[in-house]
């Protein structure tokens, strides 16, 4: 969705999970334009003509033959499953059968795109994966130098390293210039702390100034201190748009750092404040205003009563808990990372601490703040999906899809920068 919003026309979708396929189909016309999506079981699909729906292959990407797309792809974009490298998963890395980076390299060989964007978890940068991550980048640099099945990755990496250091390995239109950028989605306007790695590659023969591209995308447009400054004054811009009880505002202001440092650099870069969970719920987006989500009636946390009016998936859920290691989201900070947990969402990431409070003699000050689970719609807003996005399946499946997704705003930012880089060299 983010790539489409950046101006690219989708030529093909692939998704293994059937519920996610249903979500793509349900949301396509509303969120991806009038062309929509058409499911196909052809393992060798054809590119759609302008105005035709893009094919969706609902199966294993390893079965796809993309040779019909050769020379027709500006950007290959995707997120190879991150569980092999995630701290929340079993972290087997290259030994895990869910590692789909080899499918990325196969797709590059078959389509020879001008550029590639891959998103993955920050776990790829862990010391235990460092050597394999370097190997991934070497393979992306020389995707046409294939690895034989019987060859260990370490041996293939030595072959690639030798070719790269010697400046060889195929022709310029078969080689890619690769960079990886660690990101926090909050620095790009997403109302969520989400640490990820974006891997970007440009085809070498295009002569894109990749160092300038990296400098551009790392000049992040949003900043934590800028948020703190808007909160510092009682009638500052943040509290001007969010009318809250005095005790809520005072608690937030009391926790602000005393010294916020010089403001001159942020003013020069026109850095904007981090967006908060309260911003997302109240509809304060990047450049548009969405309707505020109605307050959830805590007396109707019944799993079934819609509370969003015309806005779907805004339903209260019971039995939210707070305990050590399971701390809630705070409304006046970016949300915690939305996760796709195996046994429900871990760490309190789907619990939110409310402004509402009740008397509790055992609590500090005699008051206890109430809490509840976030709704699917609130979570979708945290992932910067529009309200037209409709997830398929039960609540847990919708939350899983959101946890596995890339925030739309983050994807759009990088796709726009890739488009600008390609345009700068006449493509």
Give the C-alpha separation, 350 to 269, whole Å: 33
Q: What are the angstrom distances between the C-alpha of 329 and each of 11, 165, 247?
A: 38, 47, 18
* β-bridge partners, 262: none
- Look-up of token digits 């309260």: 278
- How many beta carbons lie within 10 A of that of residue 167, not counting itself? 7
User: What interhelical angle do 246-254 and 224-232 show, nearest 10?
Assistant: 130
Structure tokens at 324: 């050590």
Tell me if residue 21 is catalytic: no
Q: Where are the alpha helices (DSSP H) in 98-236?
A: 101-111, 130-141, 153-165, 210-217, 224-232
User: How far out from the chain centre does Cα 55 lie?
Assistant: 23
- Look-up of token digits 């809520």: 248
350 near 374, Cβ under 8 Å? yes
- How many beta carbons lie within 10 A of that of residue 95, not counting itself? 11
Structure tokens at 258: 């005393």
217 near 411, Cβ under 8 Å? no
Give the C-alpha separation, 45 to 128, whole Å: 38
Coil, helix or strand at residue 272: strand
142 near 170, Cβ under 8 Å? yes
* β-bridge partners, 237: none
User: Looking at 3, 21, 56, 82, which residue is catalytic?
Assistant: 82
Structure tokens at 397: 């499946």
| Cα three-residue angle 410-415-417, rounded to 5 degrees | 100
Number of H helices, E strands in the chain: 14, 12
- Look-up of token digits 């987006």: 285
Burial 257-279 (b: 16+ CB within 10 A, else e): eeeeeeeeebeeeebbbbbbbbb
Collect all residues with Cβ–Cβ distance below 8 Å to 263 and sequence separation of at least 6: 229
List the catalytic residues. Answer: 82
């Amino acid at each position: 969705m983010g790539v489409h919003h950046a101006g690219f026309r989708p030529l093909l979708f692939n998704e293994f999970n059937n519920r996610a396929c249903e979500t793509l189909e349900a949301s396509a016309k509303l969120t991806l334009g009038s062309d929509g999506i058409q499911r196909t079981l052809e393992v060798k699909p054809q590119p759609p003509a302008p105005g035709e729906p893009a094919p969706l292959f609902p199966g294993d990407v390893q079965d796809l033959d993309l040779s019909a797309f050769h020379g027709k792809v500006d950007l290959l974009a995707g997120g190879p499953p991150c569980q092999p490298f995630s701290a929340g998963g079993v972290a087997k890395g290259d030994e895990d059968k869910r590692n789909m980076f080899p499918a990325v390299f196969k797709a590059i060989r078959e389509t020879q795109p001008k550029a590639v964007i891959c998103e993955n978890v920050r776990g790829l940068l862990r010391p235990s994966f460092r050597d394999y991550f370097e190997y991934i980048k070497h393979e992306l640099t020389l995707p046409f130098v294939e690895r034989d099945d019987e060859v260990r990755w370490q041996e293939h990496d030595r072959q690639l390293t030798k070719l790269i250091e010697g400046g060889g390995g195929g022709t310029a239109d078969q080689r890619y210039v690769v960079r990886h950028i660690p990101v926090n989605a909050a620095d790009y306007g997403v109302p969520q702390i989400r640490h990820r790695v974006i891997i970007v590659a440009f085809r070498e023969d295009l002569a894109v100034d990749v160092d300038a591209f990296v400098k551009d995308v790392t000049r992040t447009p949003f900043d934590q201190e800028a948020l703190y400054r808007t909160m510092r004054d009682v009638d500052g811009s943040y509290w001007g748009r969010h009318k809250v009880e005095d005790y809520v505002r005072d608690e937030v202001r009391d926790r602000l750092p005393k010294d916020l440092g010089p403001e001159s650099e942020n003013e020069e870069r026109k850095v904007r404040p981090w967006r908060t969970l309260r911003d997302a719920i109240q509809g304060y987006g990047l450049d548009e205003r969405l309707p505020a989500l109605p307050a959830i009636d805590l007396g109707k946390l019944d799993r079934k009563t819609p509370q969003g009016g015309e806005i779907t998936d805004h339903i209260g859920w019971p039995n939210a808990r707070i305990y050590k290691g399971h701390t809630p989201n705070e409304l006046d900070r970016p949300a915690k990372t939305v996760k796709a947990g195996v046994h429900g969402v871990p760490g309190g990431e789907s619990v939110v601490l409310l402004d509402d409070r009740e008397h509790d003699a055992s609590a500090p000050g005699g008051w206890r703040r109430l809490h509840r689970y976030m709704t699917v719609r609130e979570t979708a807003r945290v992932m910067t999906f529009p309200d037209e996005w409709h997830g398929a399946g039960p609540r847990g499946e919708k939350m899983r899809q959101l946890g596995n997704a890339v925030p739309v705003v983050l994807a759009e930012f990088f796709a726009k920068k890739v488009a600008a880089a390609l345009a700068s060299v006449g493509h």
